[in-house]
Amino acid sequence: LSLRCAGLRPGDKVVTTPLSAFATTLAILRVGAVPVFVDVDASGSIDLERCRDVFKETPALRYFVPVHLYGRCLDLDRLQAIQNEFNLVVIEDCAQSIGAAFRSKQAGTVGRAAAVSFYPTKNLGALGDGGMLLTADPAIAERARRLRNYGQSSRYFHEELGMNSRLDELQAALLRNILLPQLDAWTRRRQAIAHQYRMRIHHEALKLPAISSAEQAVWHLFPLRVQGDRAAFRRHLEHHGIMSDVHYPRLIPDQPALQNYKTFEIRTPLTEAARWRDEEVSLPIHPFLSDADVDSVVKACNAWEGSCTR
């Protein structure tokens, strides 16, 4: 919805990341637009310096969908500068990063609009599917209200082809009255767990996320890079009763759905993204982990007998 509201048309190109939930790219393809993939950096999020080079080389590129991945927050000063320098339409994917910030700016406040997800596993999960579009632009807000409601601008008057993308009232009421008031406390718990992991996991083959003091991550996920046998590490965790996951095991341009589509571009070698694909493991992180749970994750990581092979 936000891409449509911001004027994206079929055939337009949109710079985005190859390492994200497929939904990020699907939103672009569903408009009939063309994703243009640029590599990520050491944080796993799209590399803003590479993006700057791409926008400089190709002034016709106007649309940009960065993702604040894993609950991290991109450097918003840099994002703002790139947006201004190239007069871009930026739509921020904040599905994993509700509440994340960089210096005094919140994720989702730099672009023309942003999208958040209330999918149940998200930091602010509803009891079913849901999401929200954030914008400070009244024109985008008005069009989004219309598009989410079959393009209806007044009762039974359809100005354009919209869809049914309303947040249902039950989810909205639960979110506002019960779940949202707890979000700050849940975020603090996630941050405390991430702090424990970062301070206490020491292993030559486990690379922990590095984060600057300017960034306030909300740790939707806690991504490690395993510089040894990843499958063996995951088996070791499982043996200790610890669930893990990989975000993401396949880059978006390598998904079978895109092979049939063929309308995408890869603008830089996706070397760092491929490393994330091959090395990443997400440790358990959510507000309901007990201190004992966190201890056992730390101990299991530190006790792994694997070694660094990269």
Give the H/E segment covering residue 254: none
Smallest distance, Å, CB 241 to ligand PLP? Answer: 26
Residue 271 CB coordination number (10 Å): 9
> Quick one: 8 or 206, whose CB is closer to ligand PLP?
8
Query: What are 55's strand-pairing partners?
Result: none
E strands, the chain, in order: 13-16, 34-37, 63-65, 89-93, 101-102, 105-106, 113-117, 131-135, 152-154, 157-158, 206-207, 215-216, 222-226, 265-266, 280-283
Smallest separation, CB 100 to ligand PLP (Å) = 12
Which of 131, 162, 223, 228 is in the footprint of ligand PLP by CB under 6 A?
Answer: 131
Q: Do the beta carbons of residue 123 and residue 71 sit within 8 Å?
A: yes
Out of 106, 117, 135, 244, the residue judged to bind ligand PLP by CB under 6 A = 117
Our CB check for ligand PLP shows the closer of 124 and 201 to be 124
Asked if residues 39 and 52 have their Cβ atoms less than 8 Å apart, the reply is no
Judge whether 230 and 291 are in contact, CB under 8 Å: no
123 lies in the site for ligand PLP, by CB under 6 A: no
User: Among all chains, which residue has been given the structure tokens 């590490």?
Assistant: 233
Task: Pick the binder of ligand PLP from 25, 43, 96, 171 (CB under 6 A).
Answer: 96
Least spacing, CB of residue 196 vs ligand PLP, in Å: 24
By rule CB under 6 A, what string of x and - marks binding of each residue 45-84 to ligand PLP? ----------------------x-----------------
From 31-39, 91-99, 192-200, 270-278, span contacting ligand PLP (CB under 6 A): 91-99
Q: Is 93 in the site for ligand PLP (CB under 6 A)?
A: yes
Distance of CA 203 to the CA centre of its chain: 27
The enclosing H or E element of 196 equals helix 183-200
Query: Segment contacting ligand PLP (CB under 6 A): 15-23, 43-51, 57-65, 198-206?
Result: 15-23
Residues in contact with ligand PLP, counted by CB under 6 A, come to a total of 11
CB count within 10 Å of CB 282 equals: 17
Q: Is 232 in the site for ligand PLP (CB under 6 A)?
A: no
Residue nearest to ligand PLP (CB): 117
Residues that bind ligand PLP (CB under 6 A): 20-21, 23-24, 67, 93, 95-96, 117, 119, 131
